[in-house]
Amino acid sequence: MSHRKKDTDYLAISARIRAMENRLLTRERMDRMIEARDDGEAMKSLAECGYAEGPLDAVLAQARAEVFKDMEQGAPDPRLVEVFQIKYDYHNAKTILKAQAQGVDPERLLLAGGRCDPAALWDGWKREALTGTSEAFKKAMEQARAALADGGDPQQADLILDRACYSEMAGLAKELESPFLQGYVRLSVDVANLRAAVRVARMGREGEFLRQVLLPGGNVSEQAIAAARGDALGEVFRSGPLAQAAALGARLAQPGGESLTAFERECDNALTAYLAAARRVPFGEETVIGYLYAKEQEFTAIRAIFAGRAAGLDGDTIRSRLRETYV
């Protein structure tokens, strides 16, 4: 028997989200932040979108926590939020394991927003008493630690954690019986694999090495990607939403190629285009999924703008690094 919530169960939260979308960071607001005389003036533009005042990291952490809490309380099935929280747990897992290997304290590098409080995760790991995490997460951390033991390969540890992360996301999307969410996870895997294929080709390493780093669960099989030489990637992804990104990546997939900035942007734009379809749905789980992604995208854009300002980049350069907006 299906336990999937009906679209009509999302009537109330969908109406609220449509109203909240009016406060999302538009391109016009981003331009005002980019051209602001100083960071104080740029922060005022954020305040217009409902952000608090204070240091940027704290402001964004607070905003993320509020979005997740709001959606958990308002969505008929709070597990929708969990799909977007999983990656923070795995980021923190990577940070903890690498810090331990280097003998440093990871706490200031941990990110809030996951299913597990970062400080509690670090404390539980130190005491070998992890609680509040999935069994898949615990197993992946143990396997990654073993891979790092005795000077092991950090890339292998990352791969173990990445596979587990996307597997958890896919499993949860399947449990939720959400075709839209499942499509998002599959496309996310495709994006990760396309990026890996281009980077590996630029390193002059393909074949077996590429097969080891590709993730399962995408729309395009690992076998098809591994069989394509770097400059043939465009053909593999030609009929899907990553066609434009893959065509660009194929041109850059050679040692010493040009910057990947435009390629990375096209990959993210493909995800945005997929999720922006939620705006055409009057009510349903799609509205929650789309809004969660839109806020994540917004946080990334804000960081990029302030990082560009701090680096003294001109406005056009900062704009070139921004992705398509959800609104």
Percent of the chain at pLDDT > 90 equals 72
Q: How far apart are CA 48 and CA 40, in angstroms?
A: 13
The residue segments making up the domain with residue 94 are 85-175
Asked if residue 158 belongs to a domain, the reply is yes
Tell me, what's the pLDDT at 209?
84
Asked if residue 95 belongs to a domain, the reply is yes
Average pLDDT, integer, range 143-152: 84
Asked if residue 123 belongs to a domain, the reply is yes
Tell me, what's the pLDDT at 153?
80
Domain count, the chain: 1
Asked if residue 31 belongs to a domain, the reply is no
Q: Does the structure show a pLDDT above 80 at 94?
A: yes
Average pLDDT, integer, range 63-76: 94
pLDDT tens, position by position, 239-248: 899 999 999 9
pLDDT band at 6 (very low <50, low <70, confident <90, very high): confident
Name which of 85, 49, 51, 50 is nearest 68 in CA terms: 85
Q: How far apart are CA 275 and CA 292, in angstroms?
A: 10
Tell me, what's the pLDDT at 2?
54
Q: How far apart are CA 203 and CA 228, in angstroms?
A: 16
Asked if residue 107 belongs to a domain, the reply is yes
Average pLDDT, integer, range 126-149: 90
Angle at 301 between CA 295 and CA 230, to 5 degrees: 105
The alpha carbon dihedral of 3, 70, 58, 132 has a sign of negative
What is the rounded average pLDDT for all residues in the chain?
91
CATH number at residue 121: 1.20.1690
pLDDT band at 157 (very low <50, low <70, confident <90, very high): very high
Tell me, what's the pLDDT at 150?
67
Asked if residue 276 belongs to a domain, the reply is no
Asked if residue 53 belongs to a domain, the reply is no
Asked if residue 320 belongs to a domain, the reply is no
Say whether pTM exceeds 0.75.
Answer: yes
119 in Cβ contact with 131 (< 8 Å)? no
